[in-house]
Amino acid sequence: MDFSKILAQAGLAELQAGPLKVHTPIDGCEIARITVQSAAETAEIIAKSKAAFAAWKLVPAPRRGELVRLIGEELRAEKENLGRLVTLECGKILQEGLGEVQEMIDICDLAVGISRQLFGLTIASERPRHSMRETWHPMGVCGIITAFNFPVAPWCWNAALALVCGDPVIWKPSEKTPLCALAVQKICERAMARFGDAPEGLIQVLIGEREAGEVLTESRDVAIISATGSTRMGHAVGAAMAARFGRCILELGGNNAMIVAPSADLEMALRAIVFSAVGTAGQRCTSLRRLIVHEDIYELLLARLKKAYSGLPIGNPLEEDVLVGPLIDGDAMAAMARALEAAKGDGAVVFGGEALAEAGYVHPAIAEMPAQTGIVREETFAPILYVMKYKDLVGAIALQNDVPQGLSSCIFTTDMREAEYFLSAGGSDCGIANVNIGPSGAEIGGAFGGEKDTGGGRESGSDAWRGYMRRQTNTLNYSRELPLAQGIKFDI
């Protein structure tokens, strides 16, 4: 297939040739060869970002928000073109590609508002004629490392907030999806030109493989690293940042579950299961991987689920009405095959999972499990849904929580007591817990992230902006005395 038109519409008609080969999972063909930054060029990128910080941190926050507003405007104008590029490069269906760009637009809107709400606190002092307050200041250069499955939105979750908080950003995209980053960089450059006085090096892209990310994590001139990817990658990033007391925001693995209670609206549950389990071909960190169904409705729900799976439109994600696109590459296909074999070895009954005639495409699988075995507790980035029975809610929640990951979770029930218990301290141990909605498709207004092997980071909404700033406690004495705290006497 000829995808040159999509590249041209995204502003990538003329790319400087280099050694990094970029393939589309749609048909496996090579769509570009691009340059990568050398160690010297990477050092220069970091130096430019550090210089930009010296200027940007002094710009009033609402003025910084104006730049993000302009980026949002440029994204609106390029939504269709960028959404198609996302689909071309990572293989998710066009509706999801467009939705990912909409997430970028939404976080820009949110960040513009936050630029006028970087609130601190006024604190009561125990000393007479003293005031205390808490203020927040820009932190420094923010390195952003993103994964292939969401090649643009997580960058914006971080960048929009970092920019209004006063931090320059350096983006190291996945080597599997670098073209999206280059297209977004062009969009940002147009916004900066309209802004007028953004410092050089404020927004930059670093193209490279693992070594490029390691340079960012090891540089003391990079104050923050926000990394999205595997738990293995997170261990490496976290250790490197801890060694130099840097700050990191980690968004790592997910092994998300849905509990379906006897009182559930099964039609709603069915729709949520299918979207959450097969959307992005099961390659979301929030994909539904474990379905825990009450024994009284297990057979009924499973029959309906298999029927829905049998009719899934699988194919070219650029085509209308297709719901399941390809896996990202051959390694993902192999990982899915290995996981299904392991599940069968544990006694699973597998429905689907067959590789299709066209390379890269696979039928989503349902694996009925006798128990939550080792393979079920692992995250396999593929459309495999492990299904298990439960008898009582406490046991179902224990089963849900008994995995290393702690990102997203949900329950379908119309019983208020069950819903509230699921959201209580005795319920889900995940960073995201939903009732009557699936585990994927989070809105940007809430903080996004999870616990345990998911890394503990938070991005996007709520007070996630604090991750990009440093806290300062101030005490101001407006008296003519110098009383000490805790009533200490120290006269000289």
Q: Residue 64 — φ and ψ, nearest 5°?
A: -60, -35
Q: Which of 285, 410, 418, 430 is catalytic?
A: 285
- Taking the C-alpha atoms of residue 260 and residue 293, their distance in angstroms, rounded to an integer, is 5
Q: Cβ atoms within 10 A of the Cβ of 184, count? A: 29
Q: Which tokens is 245 given?
A: 């007391």
| Alpha helix segments (H runs only) across 91-177 | 94-114, 153-164
300/159 Cα distance (integer angstroms)? 46
Indicate the length of the chain as a whole number. Answer: 492
Distance between CA atoms of 486 and 169, rounded to whole angstroms? Answer: 43
Paired tokens of 39? 């160690």
Contact 482, 147 (CB under 8 A): no
Q: Is 183 helix (H, G, I), strand (E, B) or coil?
A: helix
DSSP β-bridge partners for residue 326: none
Six-digit token string for 344: 């069968």
User: Catalytic residue at 251?
Assistant: yes
Catalytic residue among 251, 368, 379, 459: 251
Q: List helix spans (H) across 78-230.
A: 79-90, 94-114, 153-164, 178-195, 210-218
* 285 classed as catalytic: yes
Q: Write the DSSP symbol of residue 370.
A: S
Distance CA 21, CA 470 (A): 39
Amino acid, single-letter form, for residue 209: E
Q: With beta carbons less than 8 A apart as the criterion, state whether 328 and 422 touch.
A: no
| Closest alpha carbon to 116 in 164, 76, 48, 177 | 164
Tokens read off for 11: 């502003």
Name the E strands within 319-394: 349-352, 365-368, 384-390
Q: Which residues are part of the catalytic machinery?
A: 251, 285
